Every structure is written in structure tokens, then in C-alpha cells.
Structure 1
Amino acid sequence: MDTTERPRGPHLEWTVVPSDIGPLLLAATPEGLVRVEFHASPERVDRMIGPLVSRLGADARRPAPGEEELLAEPVRQLAAYFAGTLRRFELPLDWRLSSGFNRQVLRELDRSVPYGSVVGYGELAARVGQPGAAQAVGNAMGSNPLPVVVPCHRVVENDGGIGGFGGGVETKRILLALEGVLPRPLF
């Protein structure tokens, strides 16, 4: 196949971008952003792209920086978010990597917990009609294929604790400080 040709079937575009919380792997399909992954070292990316391509049944390509088509807007919006000038992502999202209760919870989170605010696991469970399902909400946060964009960092323990985070608790602290929920570290 000539490398200038576009894939004929479903395709996935991916790239790695720097951020305040380390390199992020971004992947998108024609339907929208499908994956954001923390700690995107070259080794980790190598381990992730194959299974992602297989799961989506897609051809993958990594465009040269600045030549992104599907990822141009996600890259721009993430840069604006980390610069403190974007408070709400306005991106098409491809939800295929999430389903059932997890997808329901993540969509509610995206819809109802704005920048600079937090919600407890139990409160989010109640919002989706499942009071008492706080642990299941925690599992949904851990399975979030679109962290930062779908802001699972805004979900905290009902008693005021910060809770866990797939990108690491320090990453969660940085994101909450960026949004003004926590004070910025002194050093």
C-alpha cells in the first residue's frame, strides 16, 4: 500500500502529546476521540496500539506532528485546557470502549460535573439511579477510556478524600489544582 493513501476500512489515528501530567496517547476514529492514555512512554504505546487496533477492527496510522486530521482538534483543546483557557471539551467522542453501566456513569459525569467542581462516588451513583453503587462508580472511573476529557479526576470520596486515579493520585492532584479545586503545590 502506498503510504500516502488513506486506509480503505475503519481507521484509527494516534499520536503522543506532551502535557503538564506527562505524555498522553491520543487516539481517534472518524466517530471521535476514542482513547486517552496516561504515561505514554514508547514502550507503553507499543503495548497499547496493537490491542486497540484489534478491538476496534481498524487500521492505524500515526501522522507527522501538525498533520493530524482526526486529532487536530483534540490536540488543540488539550493544549488549551492545560494552558488554563479551556474549561469544557467540545469534541465528538467514540464511546465504543465503554458500555453498560460504565458508559452511563461516564456520560453523566461528562454532562453534569463542570470544570472546577467535584462529585462524590456515591452522589454520582445516585445521579444515575443506582444509590449504593459507589464502588461500581469507582470501577467505571477506573475503566474510563477518555480521562481528562471525560473528567474522572473530578470524582472524589464522599468523606472528602481524594480517592484513587488511574493516572496516579499525584496526577489527579495536579488536574484538580489546575481547575482550582486544590491549591497548587508550593514546590
Structure 2
Amino acid sequence: MWTLVESPVGQLRLVANDGAITAIEFMPADYADGRVRGDRADDDPLLVECARQLAEYFAGDRTTFDLPLSPAGTAFQERVWDQLQKIDYGTTCSYGQIAGRLSMTGHGARAVGLANGRNPIPIVIPCHRVVGADGSLTGYAGGLDRKTALLGLESGALF
């Protein structure tokens, strides 16, 4: 099931399945990826709660989320997404730092970047908080303008 909500970074589609949030999609979304979305359910309690928490986040009143999450990915992607959730509000971390936390060497930062780009629940799983080794804003599946806006919201508009 899913619903649409408006946000400062554009319309978002919130998707839930089996009692957990499975995706947040920046609209317009690419529908050819095969993910099950089901019927529209604007009054579903979980989707309503997700929308409420996102509204609080965008208003600057929420720094963490308390939602059941079920992102679908490989075991490695899930390990990366778990690390993303440990990056505090208003801070950033580099791809290499995350690779180091996962005891990866060599091309670990690149692998982390690829997994980061596949995060199906952006904002709540804060992939926007990952930056290049030099602090630069590197790619973001939602677009660099959204990444800049989200980091600006969290850091007092430093980006």
C-alpha cells in the first residue's frame, strides 16, 4: 500500500508492506523497478504515522525516526543501510569511513557508494548524510538539489 505526501523536497510516495515502511520514493518515480506497491491507502495508520514523522522532520522538530522499516536488499546493502542509520542528525560521514566501519579495504568506498545509492527508504535511512572523502556533495539518487536541501535543513543551511 502507498500514499503521497508533499514535502519541501517535492512529492514523496510512502510505501508499506506487512507492517513496515519499505520505500520512500521521490516523485515522479521509476515504476519499472518491479517493487510491489499495492493499492493507495491514504488512511493506513502506518503511512499516516510515517507522513507525520516526516512532516515533523521537515519542520525541524524531529531528528530521529521511530518507524518499523523493511528495506529489501542484499546482505551487504543492509549492512551499509544499518551504518547509515548511525550517522547523527546534522552530521556527515564519508563513504570511506563507512567502509572502514565495515572492515573493508581497497574499493570498499565504491561498494558503499553503490549500496548507498540503492537505499529504498531515503530520508528515514539518511543516505543524504554521506559525502565524499573531501566533504564534497557527491551523487544522490534523489538529485543533488535534494541532498543539498536535506543537509541544509539539518545543519542550519550550511550547504
Any idea what SS the aligned residue of 1:113 has? coil
Deviations 1:112-163 (A, max 9, x none): 2010000010000011111330000110111000110100000000112111
Q: CA RMSD in A?
A: 1.8
Which of 88, 109, 127 is 2:64 aligned to?
88
CA contact (8 A) 1:26 1:71 kept: yes
Any idea what SS the aligned residue of 1:173 has? helix
Segments of 5+ residues of structure 1 without an aligned counterpart are 1-12
Relative to 1, partners in 2 of residues 1:121 and 1:145: Cα closer, same or farther, differing over 3 Å? same
Q: Distance in 1 between matches of 2:156 and 2:56?
A: 18
> Is 1:105 matched with 2:88?
no
Segments of 5+ residues of structure 2 without an aligned counterpart are none
> Is 1:119 matched with 2:93?
yes
> Is 1:155 matched with 2:130?
yes
Aligned residue number for residue 12 of structure 2: 24
Letter in 1 for 2:22: V
Superposition misfits of 4+ residues, deviation over 2 angstroms: 181-184
Deviations 1:37-70 (A, max 9, x none): 11x23xx47x25x8222xxxx7x22124xx2223
C-alpha deviation, 1:72, in angstroms: 1.6
Any idea what SS the aligned residue of 1:61 has? coil
Overall identity of the aligned pairs, in % = 40
C-alpha deviation, 1:18, in angstroms: 0.5
User: TM-score when scaled to structure 2?
Assistant: 0.92
Any idea what SS the aligned residue of 1:52 has? coil
C-alpha deviation, 1:79, in angstroms: 0.6
C-alpha deviation, 1:100, in angstroms: 1.6
User: TM-score when scaled to structure 1?
Assistant: 0.79
How many residues are paired up?
158
Which of 64, 78, 81 is 2:54 aligned to?
78
